[in-house]
Amino acid sequence: MSRLRSPSLAHWGAFTAVTENGRLVACEPFGPDPEPSAMLASIPEMVHSPLRIRRPAVRKGWLDGNRERENDEYIEVSWERALALVADELARVRAAHGPAGIFGGSYGWSSAGRVHHARSLIRRFLFQGGGCVDQIGNYSWGAAQFLLPHVIGGTSPVSGDVTDWDSVLGNTRLIVAFGGIPVKNSQVTSGGAGLHNLSGWLQEAQARGIRLVAITPTRADIPEGSNADWIAIRPNTDTALMLAMAHTLIAEGRHDAAFVATHCTGFERWAAYLRGETDGQAKNAAWAAAITGVPADTIRALARDLATQRSLLTAAWSLQRAQYGEQPYWAMIALAALVGQIGLPGGGFAFGHASLNGVGQPRRLVPGPEVPVPRNPAQLAIPVARITDMLLAPGAEYEFNGEHHAYPDIKLIYWAGGNPFHHHQDQNRLRSAWRTPETVIVHESWWTPLARRADIVLPVTTPLERADVGGSSRDPYVFAMHPAIAPQGEARNDFDIFAELARRAGFYEAYTAGRDIDGWCRHVYEGMRGGCAERGVTLPPFDEFWARGYAEVPPPERPYVLYENFRQDPAAHRLRTPSGRIELYSEVVAGFGYDDCPGHPAWLAPTEWLGAPAARDWPLHLLTNQPRTRLHSQLDPASLSRAGKVAGHEPVALNPDDAAERGIRAGDVVRLYNARGACLAGAVLDPGLLRGVVIMATGAWSDPDGDLDRHGNPNTLTADVGTSRLTQGPSAQTALVQAERYAGPAVGHRAWEAPVLRPA
């Protein structure tokens, strides 16, 4: 028997791949990792799953010109035939419609390995081949991405370095976390995690007597074993709470007027709104109590606590993944400005302390490994989450960040490395929109809900079947990924598929840049190594790195404090806002004239929340959080994710009183529904959940029957509306639903089945 071991990496952690006779049998966690993710165990099962796509396949109906892309049979074809079809379709659509006819944004997480990062590769291929319609922004923090530059001149408190845990542990007395600190989310980071140390930092914080206040609708967002205070809040109402804390500070003369005078602009205009001078409503604690469900005394006390000791405000990314999601982020920055600790050790604000692994990880600012994606010569892109709007209404006009645009008319969709049939809101609306293009091409390793809606499906290798280099800018390591097993079935690498298509279209040299995969692994590593050298950090040469399996970037010499320079000298370290300061009121945003995103942080009642008229018909607020047992829809068919299902469906958590009112018991099959659709779920009763709120994780592979999803993808129920005209992000957390005990005949689901496959 041959037993081999080789280094590898996934978004949820680094590991040693153990193979026996050419099969992956185990993934042993990376030695230095203090808290490896249980998801590593799902990899061998997935790599050898019967759901692997073995051969290129063409949808039967597509050959007859039908666009009903569901439940169809597939005809397995040779690579030669599949590549010819793809090359011809691309050429045909390009000639007839130009780049505006091809949608290649291909949003999705792809793999942790950066050479084979499918979304980068497909965009590199389509951009070099003449361009396409791209997607800009992301589902993760899409509202923040386009709001924060107006407010603080960049996105670093979300995407870059935040005040690190060393600074927090040494200085902070109070951490106020909107959305809590759900440690399960810190299992993953895009590009892969070497160290999982959030639990360690939280334990250390508790040991040092640092108080943690978690403001969230569910106790499940409080770390296990923590003595955190829980403030239960109605979903989508955090802005009202923050405004009331700001109002309290101003009314009691506790705000830092000096910091506001030297580092902020627009205070007077915002304060006038808070005092009610612009709309007759003071945003005081009593007002906020009625909206949020948090007692007025609690709000006032928390405001005082923020101002009287070293405090850190943090918010989960989920808060801005909601209608008017700009407001809680802007309000929290403005509140932190009034508290006046921005730029002090352990003080101020940041976002996403448990939204991804590595947020607050002490580390040096060095580049990660990356494959370059050139400019899109077509200069066409839609805001990422407006895909269904685009497909349903070509030519329709929309607004975005002060600009006017019109949607292109898409004839061909090409996707590699994402799954819109998990990630997009209002799945039934997307399903109808999916009938509009002439052709859909997908690269996948498994028969996912997206692959089963493609016309041409090309089977690709998993990271275990190819050489790569991976790493995240949030992690101190860069990892070598050795091929552990042979490509399964006829799978090919995305890189090789695009290289071959580029050859047929006449730009092979440009696409490959003259490098094979080994050459690219060296190139991206050397790129990172060079960037490190410029910053005084020495990484070993490639061959040494490759043989060892990883290289480490040493920790910084002193703790990092976000906005330290700006605090010390705001004139010399101007923010990249028009005023160079923190904008509590933005002339630019106000100038856009958007009623859904005014010139300062404001309470705007969402269309769907527990205080809305719609709550009479749909009395439960559905939150769709990140799954504990998988990465989005990745790994859903593996044992770990399956073990979490209830009665064969994705679990939904309900407050026991909400359940009792509906005759729902633990373990029952529940039908969740609203005007957009319905899905089945398995009931879990949770007394730690605010009444009126139900929570279901994203990522179950869907199995639709009419407008009912028989498995439990909550995006059957979510609303497909932009966060605002300013940012057009996804509003996944804004959805009202009703729940009932499912009384129909027992239904299983067929989400984890491959389609019927026929030989050519």
Ligand X SMILES: Nc1nc2c(c(=O)[nH]1)N[C@H]1C(S)=C(S)[C@@H](COP(=O)(O)OP(=O)(O)OC[C@H]3O[C@@H](n4cnc5c(=O)[nH]c(N)nc54)[C@H](O)[C@@H]3O)O[C@H]1N2
Q: Note the residues at the interface with Mo ion (CB under 5 A).
A: 140
**Does 723 sit near ligand X (CB under 6 A)?**
no
How does DSSP assign 671-704, residue by residue?
Answer: EEEETTEEEEEEEEE-TTB-TTEEEE-S-PPP-E
Candidates 12, 62, 74, 107; catalytic one: 107
Q: Which of 16, 167, 185, 427 binds ligand X (CB under 6 A)?
A: 185
Window contacting ligand X (CB under 6 A); options: 53-61, 312-320, 390-398, 658-666: 312-320
Q: Which of residues 20-59 bind ligand X (CB under 6 A)?
A: none
Q: Which of 159, 388, 586, 625 binds ligand X (CB under 6 A)?
A: 625
**Encoded tokens for 574:** 């101007």
Binding track over 118-157 against ligand X, x by CB under 6 A: x--------------------xx-----------------
Q: Which of residues 213-232 bind ligand X (CB under 6 A)?
A: 215-218, 221
Q: Among 450, 449, 431, which residue's Cα sits nearest to residue 677?
A: 431
3-state secondary structure at position 471: strand
**Does 284 sit near ligand X (CB under 6 A)?**
no
**Does 577 sit near ligand X (CB under 6 A)?**
no
Q: Which of 631, 653, 664, 739 binds ligand X (CB under 6 A)?
A: 631
Q: Which of 111, 197, 248, 724 binds ligand X (CB under 6 A)?
A: 111
Q: Which does 431 bind (CB under 5 to 8 A by kind): ligand X, Mo ion, none?
A: none
Q: Which of 233, 274, 378, 467 binds ligand X (CB under 6 A)?
A: 233
Question: What is the smallest separation between the CB atom of 474 and ligand X, expressed in angstroms?
Answer: 12
∠ CA(695), CA(218), CA(295), 5° rounding? 130
Q: Which does 111 bind (CB under 5 to 8 A by kind): Mo ion, ligand X, none?
A: ligand X
Q: Which does 726 bind (CB under 5 to 8 A by kind): ligand X, Mo ion, none?
A: none
**Does 110 sit near ligand X (CB under 6 A)?**
yes
Rounded CA-CA distance 376/637 in Å is: 36
Q: Of 424 and 567, which CB lies nearer to ligand X in the complex structure?
A: 424
Rounded CA-CA distance 423/391 in Å is: 16
- Does residue 114 contact residue 468 with C-beta atoms inside 8 Å? yes
**Encoded tokens for 758:** 């026929």
Give the count of beta carbons closer than 10 Å to the beta carbon of residue 246: 26
**Does 159 sit near ligand X (CB under 6 A)?**
no
* Residue 335, φ and ψ in degrees, nearest 5: -60, -45
Total residues in contact with ligand X, by rule CB under 6 A: 62
Q: Which of residues 350-379 bind ligand X (CB under 6 A)?
A: 355-356
660-667 own/partner pairs: CB under 8 Å, 24+ apart: 662/739, 662/740, 662/741, 663/741, 664/739, 664/740, 664/741, 665/741
Strand segments, DSSP code E, in 329-467 are: 348-351, 380-383, 397-400, 403-406, 412-416, 439-444, 456-459
Window contacting ligand X (CB under 6 A); options: 123-131, 178-186, 335-343, 514-522: 178-186
584 to each of 155, 163, 241, 285, 556, how far by Cα in Å?
16, 21, 17, 20, 33
Give the count of beta carbons closer than 10 Å to the beta carbon of residue 290: 12
Question: What is the smallest separation between the CB atom of 278 and ligand X, expressed in angstroms?
Answer: 25
- Does residue 174 contact residue 209 with C-beta atoms inside 8 Å? no
Q: State the virtual CA torsion across 347, 348, 352, 357 in degrees, nearest 10.
A: -30
Question: What is the smallest separation between the CB atom of 138 and Mo ion, expressed in angstroms?
Answer: 6
Q: Of 314 and 625, which CB lies nearer to Mo ion in the complex structure?
A: 625
**Does 188 sit near ligand X (CB under 6 A)?**
yes
Q: Please indicate whether residue 742 is annotated as part of the active site.
A: no
**Encoded tokens for 99:** 């780049």
Q: Of 140 and 226, which CB lies nearer to Mo ion in the complex structure?
A: 140
Q: Which does 551 bind (CB under 5 to 8 A by kind): ligand X, Mo ion, none?
A: none
Rounded CA-CA distance 687/684 in Å is: 10
Q: Of 198 and 334, which CB lies nearer to ligand X in the complex structure?
A: 198
Q: Which of 6, 8, 167, 698 binds ligand X (CB under 6 A)?
A: 698
**Does 321 sit near ligand X (CB under 6 A)?**
yes
Q: Among 2, 38, 4, 1, which residue's Cα sits nearest to residue 482?
A: 4
Question: What is the smallest separation between the CB atom of 140 and Mo ion, expressed in angstroms?
Answer: 3
Window contacting ligand X (CB under 6 A); options: 298-306, 310-318, 371-379, 740-748: 310-318
Q: Which of 319, 337, 391, 491 binds ligand X (CB under 6 A)?
A: 319
3-state secondary structure at position 118: helix
236 to each of 159, 239, 427, how far by Cα in Å?
22, 8, 22
Rounded CA-CA distance 716/679 in Å is: 7
Question: What is the smallest separation between the CB atom of 404 and ligand X, expressed in angstroms?
Answer: 27
**Does 323 sit near ligand X (CB under 6 A)?**
no
3-state secondary structure at position 446: strand
Q: Which of 101, 129, 182, 599 binds ligand X (CB under 6 A)?
A: 182
Window contacting ligand X (CB under 6 A); options: 70-78, 471-479, 599-607, 624-632: 624-632
Window contacting ligand X (CB under 6 A); options: 65-73, 179-187, 526-534, 678-686: 179-187
Helix or strand holding residue 360 (H, E): none
Q: Which does 493 bind (CB under 5 to 8 A by kind): ligand X, Mo ion, none?
A: none
How does DSSP assign 157-221, residue by residue?
Answer: HHHS--S-HHHHHHH-SEEEEET---GGGGG--TT--S---HHHHHHHHHHTT-EEEEESSBGGG
Q: Which of residues 243-262 bind ligand X (CB under 6 A)?
A: none
Candidates 12, 62, 74, 109; catalytic one: 109
3-state secondary structure at position 483: coil
**Does 423 sit near ligand X (CB under 6 A)?**
yes
Rounded CA-CA distance 474/408 in Å is: 36
Question: What is the smallest separation between the CB atom of 448 and Mo ion, expressed in angstroms?
Answer: 17
Q: Which of residues 476-505 bind ligand X (CB under 6 A)?
A: 494
Rounded CA-CA distance 31/8 in Å is: 12
Question: What is the smallest separation between the CB atom of 256 and ligand X, expressed in angstroms?
Answer: 25
CB closest to Mo ion, residue no = 140
How does DSSP assign 528-571, residue by residue?
Answer: HHHHHHHTT-----HHHHHHHSEEEPPPPSS---TTHHHHH-TT
Q: Which of 179, 347, 476, 527 binds ligand X (CB under 6 A)?
A: 179
Q: Please indicate whether residue 673 is annotated as part of the active site.
A: no
Rounded CA-CA distance 700/680 in Å is: 11
Q: Which of 109, 349, 398, 434 binds ligand X (CB under 6 A)?
A: 109
List residues with catalytic annotation.
Answer: 107, 109
- The footprint of ligand X (CB under 6 A) covers 108-111, 116, 118, 139-140, 178-179, 182, 184-185, 187-188, 215-218, 221, 233, 235-236, 238, 316-319, 321-322, 355-356, 416-419, 422-423, 425, 443-446, 448, 460, 494, 623-628, 631-634, 698, 714-715, 718, 732-733
